[in-house]
Amino acid sequence: MNMPDLGGGMPLRILFVEDVPTDAELTIDELREDGIACEVCRVDTEASYLEALDAFGPDIVLSDLGLPAFNGYRALQILRERDALMPFVFVSGTMGEEVAVEALRQGATDYILKHNTVRLAAAVRRAVHEAEEQRARKHAEDELIRAQRFESLALLAGGLSHDLRNLLQPLLLAADTLNDYADDARLARLATLVRGCGQRGLDMVSSMLSFARGARRTEQVRVDTLFQALGLLLQGSVPRTVTLHVDEATGLGFEGNHTELQQCLLNLSLNAMQAMPEGGHLTVGARACVLAQDFFCADESAVPGEYVCLTVADTGIGMTPDVRDHLFQPFFTTKENGTGLGLVSCLRIIDSHGGVMRVASTPGAGTRFELYLPICAVGAVAETPGATAPRGRGERVLVVEEEAAQLSLLTGVLDGSGYDVHASQSGAEALQSLQSDGLPQLVVMDADLSLLTGVRTLAALLAQDYLGAVLLLARPDAPPDLEGLPPVRHLAVLVKPIEVDALLRATRRALDAVL
Ligand code: ADP
Ligand code: MG
């Protein structure tokens, strides 16, 4: 908020409601003599008053009480309907005490008698100062409310992520199981589709979680992989009128979080497409650059050095300076169905990567977002080995999992890979099955069992002389507390969501360790 500096910087803008020019001039002269620099707009009708409120943009309204063609109370009423905080001071030659009280009751900031030079400047100063303070307070309150809304959104996102993950996990396992019938081309396609969707859902869930928590995993991010994935994601959504160009083979990389950055690029690309209702060009590119100290603003903590600059540019509607100013505010949107959260989360993600964001935009010509991310060599990124997962040789495996869908998928996968699988739906049931079926060579158990927890079931198993291996399946945010547990010959914790490949490898490794 730009407030005039009454010490002589920016002049005070005074809207004067007064029909006698000389009266207004006298009053203004008195203010100037007292050191208040001001610009004045005098009006004496309702129409010119209304116009001046918009066009002149006053800091304060001074008003006579009765005018031939207008009325001071009416002027006050009009102002208060639009702005509760702007100072309004009556300056009148004929003001009795009752009139003054009434004026204040109706929302006037102060009243003064014409030619009362002593009070005039002091009253104007105080009115402007108080309005400034009130505005600052209101601004702080608004910010607080916004922050609280944001906070509750993060909480909501955190809760939702857990539920969604439990929902998606079986989908992934099911897709992997389907893949075993890959000689049927239709089934194989279906499996790829289901896995793709499930994985995308999980990625979104984890970025939602990391967004909510503000924590994240770091890995080597390759720009080319990032762009390929973006191309795939956008494939279905780019309208025919928009041509998409994505840079290829940039060979660039940096340290960061692939999922989050993908989300960032996706957000920016969707915004770009929405800004081109009539069509245009969407260009996504990358280049390396060196940033010097003077590139950064005072409130940015990034350090000078080598950066990767990712750009998302469109030839769309562009932004007005007003939109530019509010772009990164939570919930700011100019769209009917917008959330106003896309850019906030982009900024947060780039910030957490130690990077900075820049926007250039021309109304009617287009917008260009630049994401600067600190660079890092990526020579060492290992490709995932494509070897087939190891199989079982009829070893006895006990699977303990509460959720029926998960249990059936886990047992299905292990059974299909050559293990002799037994299933239990609770810790108690698992212990009981030992009596009837004897000891297994491996126990695969969910750490989050509700009554008898995974760890307690494990303790009971060990008490019954269990000597085999153990795989605990745990949520990433709730590692099992293994303290006080007697030593286990081979114990591994697998973090959910469990991938079939990882499960089979861990199973083989665990069994090899104890057999
Ligand atoms: P949302 O897309 O839900 O409105 P965002 O945070 O993604 O929320 O964007 C906020 C606002 O910024 C948009 O409503 C729009 O006014 C403006 N904006 C963002 N990207 C562009 C763009 N590429 N061109 C023009 N305006 C944009
Ligand atoms: Mg958006």
Radius of gyration of the chain from Cα atoms? 34
Nearest CA residue ID for atom 13, ligand 1: 333
In short, whether 270's Cβ falls inside 6 Å of ligand 1 is no
HSE toward the beta carbon, residue 63, CA cutoff 13 A = 28
CA of 334 to the centre of ligand 1 (A): 7
Interatomic CA distance for residues 158 and 308, integer angstroms: 31
Here the tokens at position 289 are 């650059």
Q: Which amino acid is at 189?
A: R
Q: How many helices (H) and strands (E) does the chain have?
A: 14, 17
Contact call for residues 172 and 497 (beta carbons, < 8 A): yes
Strands lying side by side in the sheet with 280-291 = 242-246, 280-291, 305-314, 366-374, 356-362
Here the tokens at position 464 are 């019954």
- The secondary structure element, H or E, covering residue 312 is strand 305-314
Estimate to the nearest angstrom the gap between the alpha carbon of 373 and the chain centroid: 18
CA of 341 to the centre of ligand 2 (A): 7
CA of 202 to the centre of ligand 1 (A): 26
Query: What is the atom index within ligand 1 of the atom nearest the CA of 337?
Result: 3
In short, whether 340's Cβ falls inside 6 Å of ligand 1 is yes
In short, whether 330's Cβ falls inside 6 Å of ligand 1 is no
> Residues with Cβ < 8 Å from 494, sequence gap 6 or more?
471, 472, 473, 474, 502, 503, 506
**CA geometry: angle at 471 spanning 466 and 475, to 5°?**
135
**Look-up of token digits 């100072």:** 87
Query: How buried is residue 312: exposed, middle or buried, by Cβ count under 10 Å (0-12/13-18/19+)?
Result: buried
Q: What is the predicted pLDDT for the residue at 217?
A: 60
Q: What is the predicted pLDDT for the residue at 236?
A: 72
For all residues of the chain together, what is the average pLDDT? 84
**pTM, rounded to two decimals:** 0.42
HSE toward the beta carbon, residue 489, CA cutoff 13 A = 17
**Distances in whole angstroms, Cα of residue 279 to Cα of each of 77, 106, 128, 243, 431:** 47, 53, 49, 8, 65
Nearest CA residue ID for atom 18, ligand 1: 271
Strands lying side by side in the sheet with 469-474 = 420-424, 396-400, 442-446, 469-474, 490-495
Using most ligand atoms within 8 A of CB, pick from 237, 324, 333, 339 the residue to mutate for ligand 1: 333
DSSP state of 375: B
Contact call for residues 447 and 454 (beta carbons, < 8 A): yes
In short, whether 149's Cβ falls inside 6 Å of ligand 1 is no
Query: What is the atom index within ligand 1 of the atom nearest the CA of 316?
Result: 24
Using most ligand atoms within 8 A of CB, pick from 343, 345, 362, 367 the residue to mutate for ligand 1: 343
Estimate to the nearest angstrom the gap between the alpha carbon of 508 and the chain centroid: 41
User: In terms of Cα–Cα distance, which of 98, 89, 151 is closest to 122?
Assistant: 89
Parts of the chain with a pLDDT under 50: 1-3, 5, 7-8, 215, 377-386
Contact call for residues 89 and 123 (beta carbons, < 8 A): yes
Polymer length in residues for the chain: 515
Contact call for residues 260 and 267 (beta carbons, < 8 A): no
Q: What is the predicted pLDDT for the residue at 95?
A: 67
